[in-house]
Structure 1
Amino acid sequence: MDSATPMEKMQEIATCFLCSNLLAHPVSLNCGHSFCNLCMWIFCTKKPLPQQLLCPQCKCPFSKNSWKYNKHLARITEVIEEMEKMENKVECETHREGLQLFCEDDGQLICWRCERGPQHQGHATALVEDVCPGYKEKLQKAVAKLSELHTECMNQKAFVATQMTEWQNDIDIQKQKIKLEFENLHKFLCEEEQSYLWRLEKEEEQMLRRLRESEDNLQQKSDELKSHILEMEAKCQGSAQYLLQDVKGTLSRACAVKLEAPEVFSLEIQTAGDVADLNLDVKTMLRRHQVGVTLDPNTAHPSLTLSNDRRQVFCAHSQRNLESSSSRFTAFPCVLGCESFRSGRYFFEVDVGEGTAWDVGVCMENVERGPNMKQAPELGFWAIRRGTQNGYVALTSPHTALKLRERPLVVGVALDYEAGAVSFYNMTSGSHIFTFPKASFSDTLRPYFHVYQHSPLCLPPYSK
């Protein structure tokens, strides 16, 4: 280094490359590099013969016992050692005497002449070698105490590092949760937007049809009035005989014409879409349209048993003697809800619990319930299923596999009749599960449930 002192440069020259200490009985190789004699013996004995020996520093080959004792370098090493001893010798700056005494009062090293001087007169002094062990013990105790504090500090640092890791993990989990919740909210709001737009379009279509009918009626009345006007103008401009011909009939027909008051239409838009008033909690927004659903025993398959309040159903696999009815399911253990939907928006919840299999959704009131029953939208079924083998699927044609992040314990079913939308939600987390492609409903819809063995379904009570 350029900043190294001459002493440091000499020490670097006289340092053994192998042991990094000052050269002891230095020996030199033909390449000019020098090492401790003992270091070279150890280096050579580690190399199996007849393997070629190479200089540890420059890799030049050399033969065993070819090195020579370097007396000049040995002398330089002795001089360096003497210089180091002189540098380590501490002297009194005032008297140039050795600092052999220690002043207890001032806590400093002094020489024998300082002890006799006025500055330290009457002070307690002691030989360095006598007082050193005591202070050494004190220093060792201080080191031990500081070491304990250092260990404690490192433990605290490790604890803080653990807290940082745990905190970061918690933050990452919360970030994922927030992203998921907003993803679900985005999906829900997108569906809400489409629902409002579809309803508004239908309202527009209905009102325009009524207004056009009114316009057509007025145009027809206008044509009738023009015909009478032209007839009477022609009489007035013709001869006396033409004017008086059937004049009373003409006047009678003209007087009989009446202009009815036009139908008054309220042009106030019924489909409200005040986004500012929407509660951004998915569960709350869904439950604004919630209805209480009970089970219809007249539709229940014979193997199903309903509770007294008709809110729970389970599959008993015991065929009961029930009245035969066209309303009853006979192909599969299914049951409908009592409620009927012909317009508007509705939402109901189904507690599927720990059940291993279930179907939940809505269906047309007139669906097939016998041996030819097939569950698909084109046949009047809009439902999702948890199967014992293929997991969660939507009963589309063909089935759509559903990848759910967590298992729903309560499933929410949302119906917008006018928009033709049937959507499903995991009410445990408020996340969206699936929405069927837009349909065009033309008949009554009812809640639909397919019950499997050991998987009872429950309809939570609802009160507005």
Structure 2
Amino acid sequence: MASASRTKRMKEMAACSICLNLMTEPVSINCGHSYCQKCMKQYLSQIRRNQVQKMFVCPLCRAPFHITSLRSNKQLGELIELIKEMEDSEHELLCEDHGEQFQLFCEDDGQLICWRCERAPQHQGHTTALVEDVCQDYKEKLKNALTKLSQFEEEYMNQKAFMEMQITKWKAEIETRRQNIKSDFNSLHEFLRTEEKSYLWRLEKEEDQMLMRMRESEANLQQKCDELKSHILVLEEKCQSSAQKVLQDVKETLSRTCAVKLEAPEVFSLEVQTACDVAELYLDVKAMLRRHQVGVTLDPDTAHPHLYLSKDRRQVSRGYSQQNLEVSSRRFTAFPCVLGCEGFTSGRHYFEVDVGEGTAWDVGVCMENVERGLGMKQEPELGFWAIRLCPENGYAALTSPPTALELQEQPLVVGIVLDYEAGTVSFYNMTTGSHIFTFPKASFSDTLRPFFQVYQYSPLFLPSCNE
């Protein structure tokens, strides 16, 4: 009984404080405590999952230790094996048939047998050996099997960790795509709202113009009715008068009456001209915008002296000051700007600017008579409607004050839509077909022209309508 008590005490001392079982392949740390190698690996991996570090604390006494201080405790391992053998000896099994100890192992049947079983007919001719002789060999085989299964378990844990990483990555990809879809549809919604306002404004204008004409015609008809009533009253009065009054100026009265002609009324077509087939027009935003595309070329008479224009006047870059340029009051002198040759006084127009991967640019439209010298300020109140990219502040609409723009993707080509009658200037990222910004409604009263400000190492290119 005392032997069993000592064995229990030894088992408690050799137990892992993590799994509470006898340690398997024990490892020790600086503070002297030991743990199962597998339990320690899981403990370290759980902490590393939350933070990258090399210093840890003992799970039992919280003493710090370095990961490199882990050492295999072979002596403790051998002691644990001895404890297991002692425990086994205290609980030796007896043969149920003969009541004898199992001292032999039958290799053919893979069973423990006693010396009397060996002589029984069922084990005649079988290979048998002493338990002590074959135990170590089978223990090694079991350890090899355990090592193999542990390796499999570790591999599955690695695969599980990799799968967790894949799941996290996939969820991040899905979230990114979700945000892109939301952004694209928000841009499309903004574009459609702008288009809706434009078409409703045109419909309202058509309504007002037609109502004005019809009311003028109505007033004209009323005037003719009033004139006829006056004639009728004169004739009725004559008919009821004396013979002298009837015949007085009768020929002149009849002449005036005969001169009255029934005029055909003005015919108005009640067919509304403003129409919008949403499904047909807006299925492809880029295609819809390009229905109003106009070719734009650069006006050399407006170009700042530091700007160089290509021969076809579709590309502009910035360099050193050019000499012997023709003096022109139309030339920009304060900032490196240039205008397009085309002027717009009505209608809807769209043009594109290839900004490439330039780090800075201003593009938009401006009034013909804007300030071009030192007093120049790019604000809608002073005749400028443009957006800007600059290295310091990123994208911005040049409102007053400027409006910062958060773009999901860098526009390589910027599309500009001018609706003169609706008083709107809108910008689109033609790389994605998404809406960038629309200036608040304005009242245009002068010729508008394409406007560009050019920065160092950021040339601008104007594609033709066919490109």
Q: Tell me which interval the TM-score lies in, with the shorter structure as reference length.
A: 0.7 to 0.9
1:390–1:133 distance in 2 versus 1, CA, 3 Å: closer
For residue 160 of structure 1, report the CA deviation from its aligned partner: 1.6
2:286 is the alignment partner of 1:267 = no
**In the alignment, what sits opposite 1:196?**
199
> What one-letter code is carried by the residue in structure 2 that aligns with 1:435?
T
Decide which of 436, 441, 463 is 2:444's aligned counterpart. Answer: 441
> What one-letter code is carried by the residue in structure 2 that aligns with 1:339?
E
Report if aligned partners of 2:424, 2:442 keep a CA contact under 8 Å in 1: yes
Once residues 106 and 459 of structure 1 are traced to their aligned partners in structure 2, the CA distance between those partners, rounded to angstroms, is: 91
**In the alignment, what sits opposite 1:415?**
418
Report if aligned partners of 1:303, 1:316 keep a CA contact under 8 Å in 2: yes
For residue 149 of structure 1, report the CA deviation from its aligned partner: 2.4
Decide which of 107, 114, 130 is 1:127's aligned counterpart. Answer: 130
For residue 90 of structure 1, report the CA deviation from its aligned partner: 0.6
2:231 is the alignment partner of 1:228 = yes
Once residues 425 and 194 of structure 2 are traced to their aligned partners in structure 1, the CA distance between those partners, rounded to angstroms, is: 10
- In structure 1, stretches of 5+ residues that fail to align are 1-6, 22-80
For residue 111 of structure 1, report the CA deviation from its aligned partner: 1.8
Once residues 116 and 242 of structure 1 are traced to their aligned partners in structure 2, the CA distance between those partners, rounded to angstroms, is: 167
**In the alignment, what sits opposite 2:27?**
none
Once residues 124 and 274 of structure 1 are traced to their aligned partners in structure 2, the CA distance between those partners, rounded to angstroms, is: 94
Once residues 232 and 181 of structure 2 are traced to their aligned partners in structure 1, the CA distance between those partners, rounded to angstroms, is: 74
Decide which of 347, 362, 366 is 1:363's aligned counterpart. Answer: 366
Secondary structure in structure 1 of the residue aligned to 2:452:
strand
For residue 439 of structure 1, report the CA deviation from its aligned partner: 0.7
**Which aligned pairs between 1:148-227 and structure 2 lie closer than 5 A?**
148-227=151-230
> What one-letter code is carried by the residue in structure 2 that aligns with 1:348?
F
For residue 293 of structure 1, report the CA deviation from its aligned partner: 1.4
Report if aligned partners of 1:330, 1:369 keep a CA contact under 8 Å in 2: yes
Secondary structure in structure 1 of the residue aligned to 2:217:
helix
Secondary structure in structure 1 of the residue aligned to 2:292:
coil
**In the alignment, what sits opposite 1:301?**
304
**In the alignment, what sits opposite 1:349?**
352
- In structure 2, stretches of 5+ residues that fail to align are 16-83
**In the alignment, what sits opposite 2:316?**
313
- Stretch moving more, 220-229 or 364-373: 364-373
For residue 270 of structure 1, report the CA deviation from its aligned partner: 2.3
Secondary structure in structure 2 of the residue aligned to 1:288:
helix
Report if aligned partners of 1:347, 1:414 keep a CA contact under 8 Å in 2: yes
Once residues 229 and 437 of structure 2 are traced to their aligned partners in structure 1, the CA distance between those partners, rounded to angstroms, is: 60
1:285–1:212 distance in 2 versus 1, CA, 3 Å: same
The TM-score, its normalising length taken from structure 2, stands at 0.75
Report if aligned partners of 2:180, 2:408 keep a CA contact under 8 Å in 1: no
For residue 422 of structure 1, report the CA deviation from its aligned partner: 0.7
Secondary structure in structure 2 of the residue aligned to 1:313:
strand
Report if aligned partners of 1:292, 1:463 keep a CA contact under 8 Å in 2: no
Once residues 247 and 138 of structure 1 are traced to their aligned partners in structure 2, the CA distance between those partners, rounded to angstroms, is: 144
Report if aligned partners of 2:358, 2:457 keep a CA contact under 8 Å in 1: yes
Secondary structure in structure 1 of the residue aligned to 2:206:
helix
Decide which of 229, 250, 254 is 1:251's aligned counterpart. Answer: 254
**In the alignment, what sits opposite 1:52?**
none
Report if aligned partners of 2:187, 2:436 keep a CA contact under 8 Å in 1: no
Once residues 257 and 302 of structure 1 are traced to their aligned partners in structure 2, the CA distance between those partners, rounded to angstroms, is: 72
For residue 362 of structure 1, report the CA deviation from its aligned partner: 1.0
Q: Greater Rg, structure 1 or structure 2? A: 1
> What one-letter code is carried by the residue in structure 2 that aligns with 1:163?
Q
For residue 420 of structure 1, report the CA deviation from its aligned partner: 0.8
1:261–1:323 distance in 2 versus 1, CA, 3 Å: farther
1:20–1:127 distance in 2 versus 1, CA, 3 Å: closer
Decide which of 97, 100, 119 is 2:100's aligned counterpart. Answer: 97
1:404–1:15 distance in 2 versus 1, CA, 3 Å: same
Describe the superposition over 1:270-325 as per-residue Cα deviations: whole angstroms up to 9, x where unpaired: 22233333435544443333222111233333443211111001233424434444
> What one-letter code is carried by the residue in structure 2 that aligns with 1:205?
D
Decide which of 241, 245, 249 is 1:242's aligned counterpart. Answer: 245
For residue 180 of structure 1, report the CA deviation from its aligned partner: 1.8
Describe the superposition over 1:225-252 as per-residue Cα deviations: whole angstroms up to 9, x where unpaired: 2222222222222222222222222222
**Which aligned pairs between 1:78-93 and structure 2 lie closer than 5 A?**
88-93=91-96
The alignment's C-alpha RMSD in Å is 3.1
Identical-residue share of aligned pairs (%): 72
Secondary structure in structure 2 of the residue aligned to 1:211:
helix
**In the alignment, what sits opposite 1:138?**
141
Once residues 124 and 397 of structure 1 are traced to their aligned partners in structure 2, the CA distance between those partners, rounded to angstroms, is: 100
Once residues 245 and 456 of structure 2 are traced to their aligned partners in structure 1, the CA distance between those partners, rounded to angstroms, is: 93
Report if aligned partners of 2:339, 2:452 keep a CA contact under 8 Å in 1: yes
For residue 438 of structure 1, report the CA deviation from its aligned partner: 0.5
2:106 is the alignment partner of 1:109 = no
Kindly tell me the number of residue pairs found equivalent between the two proteins: 394
